[in-house]
Amino acid sequence: KRVGVLISGSGTNLQSLINATQDPSQHIGAEIVLVISNKPGVEGLKRAERAGIKTVVIKHTDYPSRETFDAAMNVELHAAGVEVVCLAGFMRILSEQFVKHWKGALLNIHPSLLPSFKGANAHKDVLAARVRVSGCTVHFVEVDIDSGAIVEQEVVPVFPDDTEKILQERVKTAEHRAYPRALKHLATGRIKLKEDGTLHWN
């Protein structure tokens, strides 16, 4: 499968997907053909360039609406023949149109064990709730934020003296294992999103 990855920042998850897809022994069944960032100059773009992957910057501030910004991304995704889109630290909410267009082929990674701790401050909320475990979730994207069928999860411990930064780093090491696994499930046809929004495992 031809994969497009959308990023906004450091791109460590992108890196894990690059490493996995470029390692023939992992049989991921996917190749990253395009990386789009809504922010210029971010580290993730450099990671893609170093790996020889085409990059495009599409600044959301150049577009009058979410829909026109998403349409501009779609032009690039289709031009590159992308079949699967992975969100990897992409900090924009996607339009309903875009989400429906890519239904069953659009994955996101969230830094908590969904459906707990949705939203942009997952680590902060986890620490405030004083739970003993957290983790990450790879899921299909639905119009509702941080919902959608769960493909992979991985658990990490939360320790009493954790800071947001320390917890984030621990969760990221789990993310970097979970995302390639999830992409492999999708790219190799192991999973399929059913019409009712639930997963079918082959």
Regarding 88 and contact with ligand GRF (CB under 6 A), the answer is yes
Regarding 13 and contact with ligand GRF (CB under 6 A), the answer is yes
Regarding 11 and contact with ligand GRF (CB under 6 A), the answer is yes
Regarding 34 and contact with ligand GRF (CB under 6 A), the answer is no
Amino acid identity at 115: P
Regarding 37 and contact with ligand GRF (CB under 6 A), the answer is no
Phi, psi of 177, rounded to the nearest 5 degrees: -90, -40
One symbol per residue from 111 to 130: x for binding ligand GRF (CB under 6 A), - otherwise; what is it? x-------------------
- Check 110, 139, 176, 185 and give the catalytic one: 110
Helix (H, G, I), strand (E, B) or coil at 132: coil
d(CA 137, CA 82): 23
Phi, psi of 144, rounded to the nearest 5 degrees: -70, 130
One symbol per residue from 93 to 112: x for binding ligand GRF (CB under 6 A), - otherwise; what is it? ----------------xxx-
Query: Out of 4, 6, 12, 180, which residue is the one contacting ligand GRF (CB under 6 A)?
Result: 12
At a CB cut-off of 8 Å and minimum separation 6, what does 98 contact? 70, 73, 74
Regarding 89 and contact with ligand GRF (CB under 6 A), the answer is yes
d(CA 85, CA 5): 6
CB of 196 to ligand GRF, least distance (A): 26
Is 200 catalytic? The answer is: no
Phi, psi of 67, rounded to the nearest 5 degrees: -65, -45
By the 10 Å C-beta count (0-12 exposed, 13-18 middle, 19+ buried), 165 is classed as: exposed
Q: Are 90 and 10 within 8 A, CB to CB?
A: no
d(CA 82, CA 66): 20
- Cβ proximity to ligand GRF, 84 vs 134, nearer residue: 134
Regarding 4 and contact with ligand GRF (CB under 6 A), the answer is no
Number of residues that bind ligand GRF (CB under 6 A): 14
Q: Which residues bind ligand GRF (CB under 6 A)?
A: 9-14, 44, 88-89, 109-111, 172, 175
| Residues marked as catalytic | 110
